[in-house]
Structure 1
Amino acid sequence: MIAIIAVLCSLSSPENCREQTVTTSDFADVSMQSCLMGAPQLADWMNQHPTERLAAWRCVIGQRDGRGT
């Protein structure tokens, strides 16, 4: 399984950023190549989170607990 770790920043407070594992059923079959190219599902996921800006993302094999830094 490929996990997408997104770095999200608040639009109201841009210095307030955190990491979050992006998980939805849409990401169940994401390949490493698709993830590295910015998985189209990531844009859809961001549309559902309009108060945040995607600052960066990375792809990892396996799962993470989703806690921010």
Structure 2
Amino acid sequence: MIRIVAVLCSLVSPTSCREQTVTTSEFADVSLQSCLMGAPELADWMKQYPAERLAAWRCVIGNQVSRGA
């Protein structure tokens, strides 16, 4: 299982960032190659977070524990 972990930063306070695991049906069967290429679905997913910008993302295999942003 591959998960995408996004780093979201506030537009109001750009140094205030957090990690968010991407959880939508579009990413249910994401491949490692698609994840590394940025999974075009990330743009649609970001519509849920209009007050934040996507600063980075990473691909996580399995159920790795989140690390601080």
Tell whether the structures are fold-level matches, with TM greater than 0.5.
yes
Shift of 1:41: 1.2
With structure 1 as the length reference, what TM-score do the two structures score? 0.87
Alpha-carbon offset, residue 68 of structure 1: 5.8
- Runs of 4+, deviation exceeding 2 Å: 63-69
Quick one: distance in 2 between partners of 1:33 and 1:44? 19
Unaligned runs of 5+ in 1: none
Give me the TM-score of the superposition, normalised by structure 2. Answer: 0.87
Alignment of 1:1-69 (within 5 A): 1-63=1-63, 69=69
Aligned residues: 69
Percent pairwise identity: 77
Letter in structure 1 aligned against 2:27? F
Secondary structure of the 1:29 match is coil
Alignment root-mean-square deviation, CA: 1.8
Displacement, 1:48?
Answer: 2.1
23 and 68 in structure 1: CA distance in 2 versus 1, 3 angstrom threshold? farther
- Out of 6-15 and 58-67, give the one that drifted further: 58-67
- Runs of 5+ in structure 2 lacking a partner? none
